[in-house]
Amino acid sequence: MRQLKPGARLRSAVCSTEIIVIKAPSNPLELSCGGAAMLEPPGPPDAGAAPAPGADGGTAMGKRYVNADSSLEVLCTRAGAGSLFADRAPLGFRESRALPSSD
């Protein structure tokens, strides 16, 4: 488990996914990608490593991911094959807010 802070950069150990923490909870949690704990950059994924089955849904660059109670929000800065999890619960897309019309 690790105490996350806004602005922290992390990378996956098993794919090319890289993220920036936008909003962090006050309690420590385990952030993982593809079934493996996320690491501090720099560095490439482990040679021969691949996302675990069930954790291979992928991430999309530029998308924001949040946990169920929205206490954690991360921005994907580099896409990869692994899925993001916080304390073994999958992170979902944060829905975009509609902009007001400018008539």
Rounded distance between C-alpha atoms, residue 76 and residue 27, angstroms? 22
Q: State which residues form the domain around 80.
A: 9-93
Compute and round to an integer the Cα radius of gyration of the chain.
Answer: 14
Residue 1 maps to a domain? no
Q: Amino acid identity of 90?
A: P
Q: In this structure, is residue 2 part of a structural domain?
A: no
Regarding pTM above 0.75, the answer is: yes
β-sheet bridge partners, residue 18: 11, 78
Domain membership flag for residue 16: yes
Would residue 65 count as lying in a domain? yes
Q: Tens digit of pLDDT per residue, the chain (103 long)?
A: 788 999 999 999 999 999 999 999 999 999 999 999 999 888 777 777 888 888 889 999 999 999 999 899 999 999 999 999 999 999 998 877 778 887 6
Give the separation between CA 50 and CA 44, rounded to whole angstroms.
13
